[in-house]
Amino acid sequence: MATSTNNPRKATEAKLTPGERMVIRQPRLSEKAVALSNKNQFVFTVDPKATKLQVKRQLEAVYGIKIARINTVQMEGKTRRYGRSAGRTRKFKKAIVLLTPDSKKPEILEAA
């Protein structure tokens, strides 16, 4: 079964075991994330309830990479004003992944 690696959600769904939920949301392509990619570190938005082990297993299965270490951070939403009313952006969890020296770069991030 050929899956497109351009959409990580579809690629992961093909490799999930029955009953396993999708934990990888999307790669984060911020200025800081691109700078970290030069140090062999990549940043992904993940499910807030996901564990490091779940993130590691799915990233290795989807992108075919070897992971040395994962750091996770719960990011709080920022306050934003819309005219007179104030609101908040969503909070999210991000995973900063350090690849092993012999691992290849994830395909979706090679263009960055």
Domains of the chain: 8-100 (3.30.70.330)
Tens of pLDDT along the chain (112 residues) come to 444 455 655 555 556 676 678 899 999 999 999 899 899 999 999 999 999 999 999 999 988 899 999 999 999 999 999 999 999 999 999 999 999 999 988 876 655 5
Neighbours of 68 (CB within 10 A): 12
Structure tokens at 53: 């082990």
Q: Positive or negative, the Cα torsion across 30, 35, 39, 40?
A: positive
In this structure, what is the dihedral angle of CA atoms 12, 14, 15, 16, given to the nearest 10 degrees?
A: 80
- Return the pLDDT at 1: 44
Angle at 74 (CA atoms; ends 103, 26), nearest 5 degrees: 50
Residue 108 has a CB neighbour count (10 Å cut-off) of 19
